[in-house]
Amino acid sequence: MPTSGANGRCRWTSRIFFDSVTRAHLAHYLPPDVLQEVADGGILHEGVARQGLPTSPAASNIGAAGFDETIVEWLSCQSTEIVYTRYADDLTFSWNGERNLAERIKRAVDTIAKANGFAVNKEKTRLQSAKAGRRVICGVSVGQNDIRPARKTRKKLRAAEHWWAKTWVVKAASAKLLGKPIPSKDSLAWKKLQGLREWCSLKTPRGFASAAT
C-alpha cells in the first residue's frame, strides 16, 4: 500500500461528488443521450448525479477525471515525491518529509478544486503524521508495515457478531422447542454481518500488484 511508509499524511475530503457533479462535468466524457434526465432514460436528476441513483458513483468518478489529471500534473512538478490517492470524495496525499509541505498542497488542491467547479470541505481537512502513531485512511488504520481495520470498525464488527449470536441462539432454541425448522442464515442482518466481516479482512483485490512499502 503506497501510504504505509509515508511519514507525513494530509487528507482532504472535498465536496466533489453526487450533487456537485453536473452535466457540464460529464459532457466531455459521455454522449448527450446518457446525460438526460432519469425520466428520459438518462443518468441525471435536475441536471446532476444525485446521491441514491445507481449510476451516480460511476458518473462521479468520470466527472472528477479532469480534477485528478490536474492534481497529478501539479504533483509531477514537485521536488518531493507525493503519493495521491482518491476514494470517492476522500483525497489522500502521502509523502516522506517535512510537515510544512501540507500547506502548499492545501493551497494547490483548493485552487484546482475551484477551477473544476468543486469545493474543499475544510472541516474535514487534517494532517496526520507517522510520528504520532497509526493513521486512519478511509476507515483503514495504516502503520509503518501493516494495515488493519480501524478501532471503530472492529468495535462495530464485535457488536454485530454479539447481536447476531444472541439473536440466532434465541431463534434456534425457540424453533427447536416448537418443532419448527431452524431459521436460515439468509436474513438482511446476516448478510450485513458477512459484508462487514469481508470488509474487515482487507483482502487485496485480484490482479492487484502490491506496491513496495
Q: Per-residue pLDDT tens for 127-170? A: 877 777 787 877 888 877 888 998 999 999 999 898 888 887 78
155: left (phi > 0), else alpha (psi -120 to 50), else beta? Answer: alpha
- Say how far apart CA 51 and CA 17 lie, in whole Å: 8
- HSE value, Cβ hemisphere, 13 Å, CA-based, for 119: 7
Per-residue pLDDT at 17: 58
- Say how far apart CA 119 and CA 152 lie, in whole Å: 28
User: Over the stretch 16-64, which tens digit does the pLDDT of each residue have?
Assistant: 555 788 999 999 999 999 999 999 999 999 999 888 889 988 898 898 8
Per-residue pLDDT at 35: 95
Look at residue 10 and tell me whether its pLDDT is greater than 60.
no
The more confidently predicted of residues 204 and 185 is 204
Exposed / middle / buried, residue 52 (Cβ in 10 Å: 0-12, 13-18, 19+): exposed
What mean pLDDT, rounded, does the chain reach?
82
- Say how far apart CA 2 and CA 17 lie, in whole Å: 24
**Cross-strand partners of 10:** 93, 127
- Say how far apart CA 49 and CA 51 lie, in whole Å: 7
Per-residue pLDDT at 11: 53
Cβ contacts of residue 137 below 8 Å, gap of 6+?
A: 3, 9, 11, 90, 92
- Say how far apart CA 166 and CA 175 lie, in whole Å: 14
User: Over the stretch 58-115, which tens digit does the pLDDT of each residue have?
Assistant: 898 898 899 999 999 999 999 888 889 887 778 888 888 777 788 888 899 999 998 9
- Say how far apart CA 190 and CA 36 lie, in whole Å: 38
The residue type found at 22 is T
- Say how far apart CA 86 and CA 92 lie, in whole Å: 6
Look at residue 5 and tell me whether its pLDDT is greater than 70.
no
The predicted model scores a pTM of 0.70
